[in-house]
Amino acid sequence: MQAGKGIPEPLRCDTPPTNRVESKLNPLDEAQGRQLWLPFPRGEPTVLPNDNDSDHIDVTVIGGGLAGTATSIHLVRAGLRVLCIEADIADTQPVGESLDWSAPDLLAVFGLSMDRLISEGLATWKRHVTLRLADGSTAHYVPGEWLGQPPFNLELRTLHVDRVQLNAAIRKIAVADGVRFLHDRVTRIETQGRAVTSVITEHGARIASRWYIDASGSSARLFPRTFNLSASDYGPHKVAIWSYFTVSESIEGTTLHAEGSCPAYMDWVWEIPIHANTISIGYVSTGEAIKALRATGHTTESIFRTQLDRFPRFRDLIQSSPIVSPSVTSYRCRVHSHIFGPNWLVAGEAAAMVDPMTSNGVTAALRHASEASALIIKYRQRACLPWLAAAMYSRRVQDVARFFNCGIEKVVYDAPVRNVIGIKTAGDVYTIPAWSLNNVYARVRPRGVISSLLIGLLLGLFRAAASVMHSFCKSEQAPCEAAG
């Protein structure tokens, strides 16, 4: 489904490169009084006049989530001066605990190797994914041993992470490397044509720099909204409700629990061991289904309890936990096009929200961070980003996210394919290309025009195959008994 218009105009490179922070109150200074993560230098004047000034900013990054912080670190390490603006320093409700097989290498560049994350208690090993149905039967999805041998030599392990601890560790690295953080909310983007000229914050600061990164996440999507960028939506609005439980022993690997009895659209529960004795459990369903339950008087907690109670694995756990107080969020898997302008790029979920079941969100955020920052670093001396290089970045972000979202929606969430081949086989049909192509992307590291277009073509072929399979199975009207 297409939303918005957003046909990109020819890029304008005549925007004056300003690098200033303006405000009556000097909110940056005020923010220091509110104990910022890292103080922005104090003092008058609030208008910073020239590039030699120590308060000069090269890049403004909006959003201090994983995508924004990782982008800031890459940029600051290349010698650029970076201000990262984050609205919620309390870091409420971080999610994204089950990593795919490409994420560890992207974390390792910040010094966060798998061994370090494990030894410091921020992570547990993930060697496979298990699908467990309500009748107790299971299917295991494990990367083949051969992938660990020459010539592939792929790491067959990945991680589950405690996101509160991981986010804190990454921010600590960012602060140590020299990223300056401002605790404030960007409320307005000032533009000139397709260029961003400054951003205005809730506390009245006007921040201007030569370059901008929007990493404000899937709900804010500041630049896509400002420039009315076109988008494709995948699947319905969804709601996730989750909480943490102490267990005597956790199950190794990520477990996905599902009913398995041919629902028209799949709902599911994740079980992720973030520590040896702590598991994250989350229920995902459509916004419509949750709304219908709320209309019958259910609270978030009662929905969560009722849904977990369907699975024998959680029955005792939920009954022995008198108070649960789960977190809740809603989202729509949405992929924007043309996520670039003369002096800006969009990264992370602000650019493309991939479904949580794919476990690709963290990898995507870290990849976008690496690729977007590389572009700005490479063209830092220019007045604007070259159109082709920025367009290729945009294409790669879009192609990968569309591939994951299309695959998971058409093969797993939606009924037709799942009902014909059974939910466990559907897991294989989705997982094998998804894991393989994600690895190919990690290996090839497409950056140029040819590699970007070739990988896009490959991803597009698999997307087309999923769509054809979906249409074919839909026309077959498979009986429900085939699933399971």
Ligand X SMILES: Cc1cc2nc3c(=O)[nH]c(=O)nc-3n(C[C@H](O)[C@H](O)[C@H](O)COP(=O)(O)OP(=O)(O)OC[C@H]3O[C@@H](n4cnc5c(N)ncnc54)[C@H](O)[C@@H]3O)c2cc1C
Residues making contact with ligand X (CB under 6 A)? 62-68, 85-88, 95-99, 185-186, 215-217, 220, 222, 240, 329, 331, 348-349, 356, 359-362, 365
What tokens appear for 121 in the block? Answer: 């208690």
Hey, is 226 helix, strand or coil?
helix
Closer of 175 and 420 to ligand X (Cβ): 175
Closer of 64 and 422 to ligand X (Cβ): 64
Closer of 11 and 412 to ligand X (Cβ): 412
Distinct helix (H) and strand (E) counts, the chain:
15, 20
DSSP code, position 184: -
Closest CA to 213 of 54, 69, 386: 69
Q: Residue 468 Cβ, how far from ligand X at the closest point, in Å?
A: 28
479: burial class by Cβ within 10 Å (0-12, 13-18, 19+)? exposed
What tokens appear for 253 in the block? Answer: 């690997």
Q: Residue 89 Cβ, how far from ligand X at the closest point, in Å?
A: 8
Measure the CA–CA gap between 82 and 217, rounded to whole angstroms. 19
Q: Residue 416 Cβ, how far from ligand X at the closest point, in Å?
A: 25
Closer of 96 and 224 to ligand X (Cβ): 96
Hey, is 433 helix, strand or coil?
helix
Residue by residue, DSSP assigns 31-86 as HHHT--SSPPPP-S-SS--STTSTT--SEEEE--SHHHHHHHHHHHHTT--EEEEE
Closer of 87 and 478 to ligand X (Cβ): 87
Q: Residue 469 Cβ, how far from ligand X at the closest point, in Å?
A: 25
Q: Residue 99 Cβ, how far from ligand X at the closest point, in Å?
A: 6
Closer of 169 and 483 to ligand X (Cβ): 169
Which residues touch 150 (CB under 8 Å, ≥6 apart)?
none
Closer of 349 and 399 to ligand X (Cβ): 349
Which residues touch 320 (CB under 8 Å, ≥6 apart)?
none
Closer of 83 and 139 to ligand X (Cβ): 83
Q: Residue 51 Cβ, how far from ligand X at the closest point, in Å?
A: 25
Which helix (H) or strand (E) segment is 242 a member of?
A: strand 231-246
DSSP code, position 194: T
Closer of 99 and 408 to ligand X (Cβ): 99
Q: Residue 365 Cβ, how far from ligand X at the closest point, in Å?
A: 4
Q: Residue 64 Cβ, how far from ligand X at the closest point, in Å?
A: 5
Beta carbons of 371 and 91 less than 8 angstroms apart = no
Q: Residue 96 Cβ, how far from ligand X at the closest point, in Å?
A: 3
Does the N-terminal peptide bond of residue 151 adopt cis geometry, omega within 30 degrees of 0? yes
C-alpha pair distances (Å), 83 with each of 80, 86, 112, 246, 287: 10, 10, 23, 38, 36
Beta carbons of 240 and 95 less than 8 angstroms apart = yes
Q: Residue 214 Cβ, how far from ligand X at the closest point, in Å?
A: 9
DSSP code, position 210: S
Closer of 198 and 359 to ligand X (Cβ): 359
Beta carbons of 40 and 83 less than 8 angstroms apart = yes
